[in-house]
């Protein structure tokens, strides 16, 4: 199936990034958010990143305006009627995602593929909320989307070969590298990354070292580009907690229990960079 028109649901950090790379690769993109302010903020962030690319000489001013012209805002899920592919990137919550997929299933054309950028939730269960489970798939981009090369492609139990091949080809068109993984909690990326981040939080919680020193150890000792607590703030502490909860519940193993300090920070609204405070203070 040939994909031309894409709709991205959720104009947060991931949704905006996904919309940007799709538009840069020539797709017509509708960026949707139920919150007008969030939608405008997402579009503004894209414009800012593209302007930075122009300043650096990595993109011409003309390419920037062509890219921006391929992006349109949407405040109505019914706009999915004009799309070949919908990529959902809202909060990491099964009820929220299944409700959106149920609605999208009514509005999107019969041939359209419905993809989720979920970090950890079962694609099989999201697919089961629709009448087209064979056309539902996980398309897990990494943050920051314009920079990171990987897209984890997750097949639900019901995902058809045709759907998988279309999404794999689309990922290539986005100049990203697809890696196919099975539908298990956290897939590969977050099954490995998130317990490390959670352990880094325990290290602070138990007073072994400060956040700065934990990050210093992992940057200087292991050559990680960001320390785990800087990375947790960057991902969003709410998202980190939701992923740990999915791992904990999905595997039923106490090794995945979320650190109480992570829970406390999320309850306080300290969500990391996006809220201005997490393990570090921003601006």
Ligand X SMILES: NC(=O)C1=CN([C@@H]2O[C@H](COP(=O)(O)OP(=O)(O)OC[C@H]3O[C@@H](n4cnc5c(N)ncnc54)[C@H](OP(=O)(O)O)[C@@H]3O)[C@@H](O)[C@H]2O)C=CC1
| Positions that interact with ligand CAA (CB under 6 A) | 49, 56, 58, 119, 142-144, 146-148, 189-190, 193, 225-226, 231, 235, 239
- CB 190, min distance to ligand CAA, A: 5
- Buried b or exposed e, range 234-271, using 16+ CB within 10 angstroms: bbbbbbbbbbbbbbbebeeeeebebbebbeebbeeebb
- CB 239, min distance to ligand CAA, A: 6
Among 3, 21, 29, 33, binds ligand X (CB under 6 A): 33
Q: Of the listed pieces 103-111, 115-123, 151-159, 166-174, which binds ligand X according to CB under 6 A?
A: 115-123
CB 150 within 8 A of CB 179: yes
Q: Are strands 150-155 and 177-182 parallel, antiparallel or unpaired?
A: parallel
Report which of 104, 262, 263 is spatially closest to residue 197, judged by C-alpha positions.
262
CB 18 within 8 A of CB 141: yes
82 binds ligand X (CB under 6 A): no
* Interaction partner, residue 96 (ligand X, ligand CAA, none; CB < 5-8 Å by kind): ligand X
- CB 194, min distance to ligand CAA, A: 7
Q: How many Å is the Cα radius of gyration of the chain? A: 19
By beta-carbon proximity to ligand CAA, the closer residue of 5 and 118 is 118
- Which residues are bridge partners to 281 per DSSP? 277
Among 8, 89, 237, 241, binds ligand X (CB under 6 A): 89
- CB 131, min distance to ligand CAA, A: 28
Report which of 88, 94, 156 is spatially closest to residue 124, judged by C-alpha positions.
156
Q: Name the site residues for ligand X (rule: CB under 6 A).
A: 10-15, 33-35, 38, 89-92, 96, 117-119, 140-141, 143, 235-236, 239, 274
């Amino acid at each position: 199936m040939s994909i031309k028109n894409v709709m991205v649901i959720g104009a947060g950090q991931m949704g905006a990034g996904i919309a940007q790379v799709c538009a840069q690769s020539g797709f017509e993109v509708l960026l949707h958010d139920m919150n007008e302010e969030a939608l405008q903020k997402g579009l503004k962030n894209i414009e800012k990143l593209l302007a930075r690319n122009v300043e650096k000489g990595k993109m011409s001013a003309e390419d920037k305006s062509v890219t921006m012209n391929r992006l349109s805002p949407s405040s109505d899920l019914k706009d999915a009627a004009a799309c070949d592919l919908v990529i959902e990137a809202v909060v990491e919550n099964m009820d929220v995602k299944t409700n959106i997929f149920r609605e999208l299933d009514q509005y999107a054309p019969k041939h359209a593929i419905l993809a989720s950028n979920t970090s950890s939730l079962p694609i099989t269960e999201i697919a089961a909320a629709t009448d087209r489970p064979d056309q539902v798939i996980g398309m897990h981009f990494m943050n920051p989307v314009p920079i990171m090369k990987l897209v984890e492609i997750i097949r639900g139990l019901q995902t058809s070969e045709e759907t998988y091949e279309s999404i794999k080809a689309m990922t290539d068109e986005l100049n990203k590298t697809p890696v196919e993984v099975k539908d298990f909690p956290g897939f590969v990326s977050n099954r490995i990354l998130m317990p490390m981040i959670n352990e880094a939080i325990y290290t602070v919680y138990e007073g072994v070292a400060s956040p700065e020193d934990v990050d210093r150890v992992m940057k200087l000792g292991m050559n990680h580009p960001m320390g785990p607590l800087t990375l947790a703030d960057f991902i969003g502490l709410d998202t980190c907690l939701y992923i740990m909860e999915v791992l904990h519940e999905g595997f039923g193993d106490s090794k995945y229990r979320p650190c109480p300090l992570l829970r406390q920070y999320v309850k306080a609204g300290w969500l990391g960079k996006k809220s201005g405070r997490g393990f570090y203070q921003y601006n």
